[in-house]
Amino acid sequence: MNREEIKQMLPHREPMLLVDEMTLDSDGTAHGIYHVRGDEFFLQGHFPGHPTVPGVIMCEIIGQASSILVKDYIQGKTPFYSGIDKARFKNSVYPGDTIEVTAHVVNKRGMIFFIEAKAEVRGKLCTQASLSFALVDNDKLTAREEAAK
């Protein structure tokens, strides 16, 4: 999937769409790519003179790249993190780097998915984590917004 195809599946939009390409292997392994351009909002203050992709953004990148694993379920739903466990940050990521994400589903309970994922740059492990996210019906989100008015 290219960026435009990803937008048809995910509700994320710029500046929070943090995946450029996604593929799904026949064995159920997801692969995602994000090219760190250097002009991203999160690099502007993290850190002046030494821009580094924040760990929380790395978690978001691996989460978005993992979404292709649930492509058959996501229509009419929005993915929300329900957990990030065992997150480890091994190497920093900088402007000009290409982040390569690999992920797979380890468990599913209803519309809650449990994922093991890692992100690498040039074959070097940068981030790894156990993720879980829930797919919430968009109708429930709309009803909640209406109730808040």
Write down the H helix ranges in 1-137.
3-9, 55-66
* Catalytic annotation, pick one of 35, 46, 50, 104: 46
Q: Is 31 a catalytic residue?
A: no
**Which residues are known to be catalytic?**
46
